[in-house]
Amino acid sequence: MSVPFSFYNFTGLVDLHRGISERQNESHVESFTILFCDFSGQDKSKIDDSLQQVVRHSDAYVHNNNYYFFVLYQTDKHGAGIVKNMFEEFFGTDIQHDCVSFPRDGDTAQELFDALQASVKKKLNLYLECLDHSSRQMPSY
């Protein structure tokens, strides 16, 4: 099973993967990929089962309601497409999805989030409010 993180830690999670990639001096065009999947309409227990069966132990994810964001280490967009296909096979239906890769689509977490937001809006006609900077901040009480 992959490693779940709080959505409020999404920026830190991406920064951690950036730092690992840079420290290991990886010259990959795509050191890691963020795969967005919209699991709306799927049963929560079935989503939980899919996370155990589809995603690798070395991958991490965050989610905001039914929007799931997988950080797939040492995976390019083609590999992310394979993961998406595995989810579609598991659920038996098409999954709205998109992805961005570091460093091809951005050098910082914010650049990657902006690129994903723009791509999802263009391809899927969805606005992911949860990717707005203020939505990723832990609420203060």
Give the pLDDT of residue 133: 67
Residues of the chain with pLDDT under 70: 1, 25-30, 133-141
pLDDT in tens, 93-102: 999 999 999 9
Q: What residue ranges define each of the domains in the chain, with the CATH number in brackets?
A: 3-135 (3.30.70.270)
The pTM (predicted TM-score) of the whole model is 0.90
Q: How much is the pLDDT for 19?
A: 86
Q: In sequence order, what DSSP letters do the residues of the chain get, joined into one string? A: --EE--GGGHHHHHHHHHHHHHHTT---SEEEEEEEEE-TTS-HHHHHHHHHHHS-TT-EEEEETTEEEEEEET--HHHHHHHHHHHHHHHTS--EEEEEEEETS-SSHHHHHHHHHHHHHHHH----GGGSGGGGSPP--
